Amino acid sequence: MSFEEAEVLKERARAFLTNAARLVEEGVFDLAAFCLEQSCQLLAKHKLLVKTGTYPRTHSLTRLLRLLAKIYPKLEEFLSDEQNVIYLTKLEDAYIGARYLPRRYEEKEVKALQRFVEEVYFPLVEQL
């Protein structure tokens, strides 16, 4: 693992989160959902890279978090909460849905995802 690679992942995670907020303000909800997913994915990969020296080449947010939970048991409680899993799977779906499917994301669902990412996911994963 290189320190530089880990820092790039963390910086990109933050940049995607910032970009998602801007896109929400502009009313571009499909791309905002995608950016929220990317920010979460990159932050999880950053944490795995720092702790283990590598991360899997997957886009599954739940898989990445389950791997992190093996290192940080604190995540088990987070992953056992039904509401958290629903938000995570909605974010996972955005990876494909916002890019390739004729799916339109609504303002209220993207703002709910944004609140989850900003108020729950990022504070929890960043402190690991």
Which residues touch 53 (CB under 8 Å, ≥6 apart)?
1
Confidence of residue 102 (pLDDT cuts 50, 70, 90): confident
Second-level CATH architecture of 3-126 = Up-down Bundle (1.20)
Ordered DSSP codes for 15-75: HHHHHHHHHHHHT-HHHHHHHHHHHHHHHHHHHHHHHHS---S---HHHHHHHHHHH-THH
* Distance in angstroms (rounded) separating the CA atoms of residues 47 and 30: 27
* Distance in angstroms (rounded) separating the CA atoms of residues 104 and 106: 6
pTM over 0.85? The answer is: yes
Tens digits of residue pLDDT in 21-47: 999 999 999 999 999 999 999 999 999
Q: Show me where the domains of the chain are located.
A: 3-126
- Is residue 1 over pLDDT 80? no
